[in-house]
């Protein structure tokens, strides 16, 4: 009986150790992303500075969208192909009148990855009409979250226009 209790205690200790290790890893990644995310208070990143040969020219489009999404992906990444791509299609279907999505192949765009502090794919960067970074979503982001963020940017732009 005591041998069974000892084995159970070992299993519990291993489970606690794994839990603590995973929790510490998540906290580390979260802190790293927080420290390296573009900070609006320290000069916003502008889409105008992105090399036009790397993507469509969002800012100089005839009718500039109110929201631009830079979707960093990798063709070899299953999450990008199977999960994020359909979500981006749904976003265009729902808000195509105010949003433009530019897909960026992350492995071939290291300078853009560095500029927006992209450390994982898929990553979506939402920019307002002036090209300022509104938010960066690391990893898969569902349609509901993206639509909420788009609506926030549009509402903010509407409030700024009303003040002008």
Q: Within this chain, do residues 101 and 121 fall inside the same structural domain, yes or no? A: yes
Q: Within this chain, do residues 59 and 125 fall inside the same structural domain, yes or no? A: yes
Q: Within this chain, do residues 140 and 108 fall inside the same structural domain, yes or no? A: yes
pTM over 0.95: no
Q: Within this chain, do residues 7 and 87 fall inside the same structural domain, yes or no? A: no
How far is Cα 10 from Cα 43, in angstroms, rounded to an integer?
Answer: 52
User: Looking at beta carbons, which pairs linking 32-41 to residues 24 or more positions away fall under 8 Å?
Assistant: 32/119, 33/117, 33/119, 33/138, 36/117, 36/119, 37/117, 37/136, 38/116, 38/117, 38/133, 38/136, 40/132, 40/133
Range of the domain at 100: 45-163
User: What percent of the chain is predicted at pLDDT more than 70?
Assistant: 77
Q: Is the pLDDT of residue 3 over 50?
A: yes
Q: Within this chain, do residues 92 and 56 fall inside the same structural domain, yes or no? A: yes
- The CATH number for 126's domain is 3.40.30.10
Q: Within this chain, do residues 27 and 51 fall inside the same structural domain, yes or no? A: no
Q: Within this chain, do residues 9 and 50 fall inside the same structural domain, yes or no? A: no
Cα angle, residue 114 at apex, residues 102 and 64 outer, rounded to 5°: 30
Please tell me the total count of domains within the chain. 2
Q: Within this chain, do residues 50 and 90 fall inside the same structural domain, yes or no? A: yes
Q: 125 and 69 in contact (C-beta within 8 Å)? A: yes
Q: 73-127: per-residue pLDDT in tens?
A: 998 888 888 999 999 999 999 998 999 999 999 999 999 999 998 989 999 999 9
Q: Within this chain, do residues 1 and 78 fall inside the same structural domain, yes or no? A: no
Q: Give the model's pLDDT for residue 41.
A: 37
């Amino acid at each position: 009986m005591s041998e069974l209790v000892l084995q159970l205690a070992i299993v519990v200790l291993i489970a606690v150790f794994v839990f603590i290790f995973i929790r510490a890893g998540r906290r580390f990644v979260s802190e790293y992303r927080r420290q390296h995310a573009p900070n609006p208070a320290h000069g916003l990143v502008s889409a105008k500075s992105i090399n036009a040969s790397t993507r469509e020219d969002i800012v100089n489009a005839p009718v500039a969208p109110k929201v631009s999404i830079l979707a960093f992906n990798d063709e070899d990444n299953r999450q990008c192909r199977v999960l994020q791509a359909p979500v981006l299609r749904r976003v265009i279907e729902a808000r195509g009148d105010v949003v433009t999505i530019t897909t960026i192949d992350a492995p071939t765009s290291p300078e853009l990855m560095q500029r927006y502090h992209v450390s994982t794919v898929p990553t979506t960067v939402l920019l307002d009409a002036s090209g300022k970074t509104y938010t960066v979503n690391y990893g898969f982001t569902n349609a509901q979250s993206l639509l909420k963020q788009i609506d926030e940017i549009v509402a903010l732009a509407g409030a700024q226009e009303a003040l002008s």
